[in-house]
Amino acid sequence: MSAKDVAIKTRRGSIRERAAALAEDARQRQMQLPFPAWPERFRSAPNVMLRSALFGVVRSGRRKYVEEMPLPALGKFSIFYTGKRLDQVDLDIYLQIVHYSREQTVDDWIRFPLHRLLDAIGRGKSGADYKWLHSRVIGMSATAMTIRDGEGKMLITGGLIRDFGYDEQTGEVKCRLNEYLRGLFDGDTYTRLDWDSRLALKNNQLAKWLHGYYATHAAAHPLKVATVKALCGSEIADLKKFRQSLRAALEELKVRGLLRSWRIDARDLLHVVPLAAPSQARRLESSAR
C-alpha cells in the first residue's frame, strides 16, 4: 500500500470516528431531554419492549429468577435479562410509572402515592394489594437488562427502575427511571397504547401482549405460530395448547374492536390486520387536545 493510500485510509478512519463521536454526543443530549407528552388516554412504551419477551406471558404464581437470559425480540435486536421474569401485570405498572414521567427527564424523581398507582391499574386498595404492588415495584427495581441493536450498539443497560424509595408513613413512592430509557422514546421508536382498552383485557396476559405487539405495526407481517410463542415468552410447552390460547386471545381482541381481523393459514402462519398504525395514534392525540 502506497503512502497516499495509507493517508486516504487514515483520513477515512478519522472521518468515521468523528461521525461516530458526533452521533454519540447527539444521543447523549437526546437522552437528557424530557419525555414526550401524550394525552391522558394513552400509555407509552418503546417498540422493542412491546415486540419482545421482556414483559412476557408468564404463568401465575412463583416466577423464575434468571441471569443473563437471552430473550426473543423481533428483528435484529438482542436482549439479555437478569431478575424475576416480568409479565403483563408488570408492564401495566411500568406503563403507569412511565406515564407519571411525561415531560420530565430520566434524572427527575417521580413521586406518587401507592394508592394512586393501584387506582390507575384497576386494583383494589386492601392491605394485600399494597403489599403486592410494593413487591412488584421492588422486583422491577432489582432487574438488569441490556438491549442492543442489529449492529451490536447498546441502546439501554441497567435496571428498569434506577432508584426506588418508599415512605411507609405517607405511602409515597419516589423513583427514577433507567438513565438510558429516554433514548428509546424518539420518533417512531415508541407506541401509545389506549389505556382503557388494555385494562379491559384484565388478566388475559396473551391478549395484552398481542394488543401491545400489534399496536406497534401499521401493517404486520405474517408470523409462524411458533414464532409468536417465542416472542411473547409463553411458558406453555405444547404448541397445540398455545395455539388454542392464541386463537382465544385473538378472538377477544377482535370482539373488543382492538384488531380488524386474524387468521391462521395451512402453513401455521398467523395473519393479523391491526386496528390502527402508531401514526394514527399520534393523529388521535392532536384531535384530543
Domain boundaries, the chain: 1-31, 42-288
The Cβ-side half-sphere exposure at 38, using a 13 Å CA radius, reads 26
What is the spatial distance between Cα 12 and Cα 86, in angstroms, rounded to a whole number?
45
Question: What pTM was computed for the model?
Answer: 0.86
Confidence at residue 279, expressed as pLDDT on a 0 to 100 scale: 46
Confidence at residue 275, expressed as pLDDT on a 0 to 100 scale: 83
CATH among 3.40.630.10, 1.10.150.50, 3.40.50.720, 1.10.10.10 for 42-288? 1.10.10.10
pLDDT at 283 over 50: no
Q: State the average pLDDT for the chain.
A: 89
Confidence at residue 43, expressed as pLDDT on a 0 to 100 scale: 97
| Adjacent-strand bridge partners of 8 | none
Higher pLDDT, 276 or 241: 241
Q: How far apart are the first and last CA of the chain?
A: 63
User: What would the pLDDT profile of 60-102 be if each residue is shown by its tens digit?
Assistant: 777 899 999 999 999 999 999 999 999 999 999 999 999 999 9
| Adjacent-strand bridge partners of 163 | 176
